[in-house]
Amino acid sequence: MWGFLGRRLLHSVWVLAAIIIVSFLVIRLIPGDPVVQMLGLQATPENIAAVNEDLGLDLPMGRQVTSFVERAFQGDLGSSIIKRAPVSDIVFDRLLPSVYLLLYATVLALIISVPLGALSAIYRNRVPDQIVRLTSMVSFAMPQFWLGLMLILLFAIRLDVFPSGGYGEGFGGILLHLTLPALTIGLYLAPQLMRTLRSSLIEAIESDYVEAARSRGFRESRVVGKLAMRNALVPLISVLSINIGFLISGTVIVEVVFQIPGLGALLVQSVLNRDYPVIQGLILVFGAMVILVNILADAAYAVVDPRVRAGMAAE
Amino acid sequence: MRTLAWAGRRAVGLRGEAADLLRQAQTERRWSNVTLGIGIAIVGALAIAGFFASLIAPADPNALDLTQRLLSPSGKHWMGTDPFGRDIFTRTLYAIRLDLVVVLIITYVPMVFGMIVGALAGYFRGWVDAITIRVIDAFIAFPFIVLVIAVVAILGPGLKGVYIGVLAVGWTLYARLTRGDMLVLREQQFILAARTLGYSPRRVILRHAIPNLIRSNLVFSMADIVLNLLLLAGLSYLGLGVQAPTAELGSMVADGQSFLLQAWWVTTLPGVVIVVLGAGFSMIGDSLADRLGQRFGVVG
């Protein structure tokens, strides 16, 4: 098992290297003098020199690479041009809202998709299945910013049950404020989980061990609900981990729609403000999140599925 | 289809599992025909409407008329007017044309590039393959939109950034798909035969392998079109894509955002068009995937 995890970690190291390269290039690929571009009207010689020094842009290229990597690992990502504060502080303040949003969205997606996916598999090719599949095709095509605005229109303006945006205080407040944004992301994720669950449950229902349980006279609800479902749920872990990139993409847009002070809203704001040090830092943080989720998913796989453990031991 | 119907009538005589399986296959086939038809009808109708925008549209898409602000849908303005007094129906038609053209470009240019890279990696294997797969893995792991936004940040907001950003990232999924297929294909008899005849790798790949690799890529491209449509609209909504005053479905949604309370139609209707167009593509993709025994979607 540890060998397997070690190999996966090695893969993560490679992805991390790629992320560092992208982050490093963001400022250096800007056409013209990046610092002048960033500072705009404030591009006085003193300011330019200060920013050059802060970001290490005055060093020779070889030194720039090593110093960037060193400082990235120390959490020193330079200072924001606009906010004049360390990037690491700004990013860290924005981390929790995004993480809560992602977790909440995942929970909602599971609540929606597990019963519907099961329904779809049990009534395969009959009316419930076709309704579920059609809805999932439509929701696959729904832009999240639009869906978010529609939810605001319905639940915040017409019915007035949820706030239309912002980030509350305390657990209850946050939960209340994040419900609509999490639902927006959850409704995007749910169809993908549902498709996976449908096909894996169909496969499980037709497998020998389920047939055997059926022939021993267990009730159908128990056969499907307990025996088949258990195995059918396992692939959802990998769907979740593969989708983490898409989920993060979703938070970028949804945070803007609902004015949540998270990482995604910060990214958009920083691009519009040309605040490149913050963009650089955010790329690293998003990358780290993806890597972390992938590692967690691998570990979860090993815990949940004995075959994976056995396979690892065999290697 | 005819064979299936014939087999179905025969199946009346069959009992139990065999009949069940046949019925199963038939319903699946019928479902897939229906969704394919509806999908093609939707996409076709919207494409025609967009293509002939300048003939159909009742107004000028960018003509401001502040006396006509935020009018609700009526006989004169089918989809109402926006905060600048522009006719939303007209703007929607032009936006459909723009979105379709851009989305086709940012889907099929990366597809061609990705197929070539994937085919080369799968054909030559060895270090070419090792490097390619590393690069692909790193790209795929990363949130797509963040990478595209990074490119937009470098080049400044606008379509140029979207084009370059998506071209830089979008080829990876096609490359992975093609590489996987190529690894299987290169061991097959007809490819081996072509190689034994002494054909150059270029000829074997282009003339013998690619025609067999293209179908799964086309099916996948249907899902990709939907994602790219949402990406383009999303970036434009954020102010990073198509710039005002050009009509684009996502930025039209953003135009109405502050007027959600007074004028629901400004935000709602262009969004509905995105959903309908996207659903059309995803229906086509879903039923094509069914036919080829392939999964529809980006993952899996």
Cβ burial, residue A283 (10 Å; 0-12/13-18/19+): buried
* Encoded amino acid at B290, one letter: D
Q: Which residues of chain A lie closer than 8 angstroms to B146, CB-CB?
A: 248-249, 252, 267, 282-283, 286
pLDDT at B300: 34
Give the nearest chain B residue to A238 (CA atoms).
B300
Output phi, psi for A127, to 5 deg.
Answer: -50, -50
- The token pair at A14 is 């490679």
Find the CB nearest B279 among A137, A153, A192.
Answer: A137
A152: confidence class by pLDDT, cuts 50, 70, 90: very high
In sequence order, the 6+-apart residues with CB closer than 8 A to the CB of A185 are A101, A102, A105, A109, A144, A247, A250, A251, A254
Cβ under 8 Å to A: B residues 150-169: 150, 152-155, 157
Read off the pTM. 0.87
Cβ of residue B268 closer than 8 Å to a chain A Cβ: yes
Residue A271 contacts residue B152 (beta carbons within 8 Å): yes
The more confident residue out of A66 and B272 is B272
Residue B281 and residue A141: Cβ atoms within 8 Å? Answer: yes
**A31 interaction partners in chain B (CB closer than 8 Å):** 154-155
CA end-to-end span of chain B: 29
Shortest CB distance from A138 goes to which of B149, B155, B275? B275
Query: Would you state the torsion angle of the CA atoms of residues B272, B275, B276, B281, taken in this order, to the nearest 10 degrees?
Result: 160
Q: What was the pLDDT predicted at A308? A: 66
**Which DSSP string do the residues of A199-243 spell out, in sequence order?**
HHHHHHHTSHHHHHHHHTT--HHHIIIIIIHHHHHHHHHHHHHHT
Report residue A79: phi and psi, to 5°.
-115, 150
ipTM (interface pTM)? 0.85
pLDDT at A128 over 70: yes
User: Tens digit of pLDDT for each residue in A245-270?
Assistant: 788 888 999 999 999 999 999 999 98
The residues in B 168-227 lying below 8 A from A, measured between CB atoms, are 226
- The residue ranking higher by pLDDT, A95 or A69, is A95
- Is residue B3's pLDDT more than 60? no
Rounded-to-10 torsion of CA A89, A82, A252, A15: -60
Nearest alpha carbon to residue A90 among A247, A249, A267? A267
Which one of A8, A9, A102, A145 makes the best mutation probe of the B interface by having the most chain B beta carbons within 10 Å? A145
